[in-house]
Structure 1
Amino acid sequence: MTKKVLILAGDAVEALEIYYPYFRCLEEGYETTIAAGSAKKLHTVVHDFIGWETYTEKEGYLIDAAASFEDINPEEYDGLIIPGGRAPEHIRLNQYVPGIVSHFFEANKPIAAVCHASLVLTTVKEHIKEREMTAYIACKPEVEAAGGTYIEEPLHTDGNLVSGHAWPDLPGLMKEFIKQVNESKVTI
């Protein structure tokens, strides 16, 4: 049967961090669902460093979220991807997101988290406590406050949790995530 991957996103998701994993999953033959607060066109953003101390942000492409968080049954999915950008700041406040994310930890299914995705993971502290992960450096205080160990490397794998600093790390992140999804049993 076909593997199924869920991507959690919202407006201001980083363009490369959603498009690269989405297309890579489609290329792999996975049935891939993008979910957000509601089924709608999401606005992406482009983050880059152009001589500033922090990243700049520009408007990116639109991408369709086919489902709402409320309608997601995480048991139907074999893997979870959480892209970064500013979307994690607000999707972590959605009442359904912690339950969705918790399922993937509890079922030991592959989770890929890149950049600011760590902000979503801090809503499930019980699952990242004493776990190692990396993220965009500005998220280090939140990872540590949630009981996780922040790793300085651009990519890190701790069991089913594959994490990366930012979009330049997507090739390695997706290689490990896909390996884990392909090695896992099909959910349905």
Structure 2
Amino acid sequence: MAAKKILIVTGDAVEALEVYYPYFRCMEEGFEADIAAPHKKKLHTVIHDFEDWETYTEKPGYLVEANLAFEDVKAEQYDGIIIPGGRAPEHIRMNEYLPGIVTHFFEADKPVCVMCHGSLVLTPIADVVKGRKMTAYQACRPEVESTGAEYMNEMDYVDRNLISGHAWPDLPAIMKEFVKQINSY
């Protein structure tokens, strides 16, 4: 039996924990995982932390290799997709290839894991998330609601194949569900 294949879509300024934790968790499970970005390159990650500010702070993080450019992704070859947060979703959502890639996973009813600001990637494809329920970082609530999705004020939420989390502290719960769905797919 061939290994399950997972696609992680991101770009520069991805939250470090939200890309590394899922990537290593997928490898631990025996899944093949590709990290795709606008360009095949080393990506700069950021570290968002909750200190004594009224919002999160940001510091430079590790580098992570994007081994695939969005234009080279063949979505039908993957069993699930992970969309990390950070600031990357702000700019990758504008990539001409990404909306079609993400739409494929919704239309094929494959597992979709969205973390934190990753919800911004869904704004250009509002038609596929309209009527769905999901959570995201609280500052993303207006964007979630602008897609026609219902914002769930919870740390993690599962709506069929759409698995969403509020922020990186919720990774254990959402990755547990994602792995379960991938193994059942």
Distance in 2 of aligned mates of 1:102 and 1:49: 32
Q: 1:173: which partner in 2?
A: 174
Cα deviation for residue 70 of structure 1 reads 0.2
Distance in 1 of aligned mates of 2:57 and 2:36: 26
Q: 1:64: which partner in 2?
A: 65
Q: 1:149: which partner in 2?
A: 150
Q: Secondary structure at the match of 2:61?
A: strand
Cα deviation for residue 116 of structure 1 reads 0.2
TM-score, structure 1 as length reference:
0.97
Q: Secondary structure at the match of 2:153?
A: coil
Q: 1:21: which partner in 2?
A: 22
Distance in 2 of aligned mates of 1:163 and 1:82: 9
Distance in 1 of aligned mates of 2:147 and 2:25: 30
Distance in 2 of aligned mates of 1:123 and 1:47: 25
Cα deviation for residue 122 of structure 1 reads 1.4
Q: 2:11: which partner in 1?
A: 10
RMSD over aligned Cα atoms: 0.4
Q: Secondary structure at the match of 2:157?
A: strand
TM-score, structure 2 as length reference:
0.99
User: 1:127 is aligned with what amino acid?
Assistant: V
Cα deviation for residue 121 of structure 1 reads 1.1
Structure 1 position 82 matched with structure 2 position 77: no
Q: 2:114: which partner in 1?
A: 113
Question: Deviation string for 1:18-56 (max 9, x for gaps)?
Answer: 000000000000010000001000000000111100111
> Unpaired segments of 5 or more residues in structure 1?
none
Q: Secondary structure at the match of 1:42?
A: strand
Q: 1:32: which partner in 2?
A: 33
Distance in 2 of aligned mates of 1:127 and 1:86: 22
User: 2:112 is aligned with what amino acid?
Assistant: I
Identity of aligned residues (%): 65
Q: Secondary structure at the match of 1:152?
A: coil
Aligned length: 184
Distance in 2 of aligned mates of 1:183 and 1:145: 31
Q: 1:52: which partner in 2?
A: 53
Question: Deviation string for 1:31-84 (max 9, x for gaps)?
Answer: 100000010000000001111001110000000000000000000000000000
